[in-house]
Amino acid sequence: MLRCVDYHTGKDIGEAEDWFVQAKKNEYEMIHDGYTYSLNYVVNNVAFFINKHFNSILENNFSYHPPKEGQSEKYDNIRCKAKELAYLINDLAPKSRENSLAMTNLEQAVFWANAGIARNE
């Protein structure tokens, strides 16, 4: 029997008969946990399959990204500068819908800047 593995995640998705060694790319499909996988290649008794619905951007965007060395300091720097601007807006702009939107969008800017660091470094 061959071990079947998701090419992108490395997770086991089942087993296949030994004749798989002779199968060609995309010649065979299998279903595992509701996903359809297509054979990519076989090496050392391991058949690598590609999830037909795999999207590396979605996988990255909806995964936990533990902080790497140096990232916490970057997050803090961004938050610190945003906080300075928030106080400036709070002191200068009248309390209004526009002030509220400015604060909300500043929070979003901090979120997206930090997400960019977490997702892409």
In tens, the pLDDT along 72-90 reads 999 999 999 999 999 999 9
In tens, the pLDDT along 1-49 reads 889 999 989 999 988 877 666 677 777 888 888 788 888 888 888 989 8
Q: In terms of pLDDT, which residue wins out, 80 or 59?
A: 80
In whole angstroms, give the CA distance from residue 1 to residue 24: 17
Tell me the whole-structure pTM to 2 decimals: 0.58
Interacting residues of 103 by C-beta distance below 8 A, sequence separation 6+: 86, 89, 90
Question: What residue segments make up the domains of the chain, in order of their start?
Answer: 2-54, 62-120
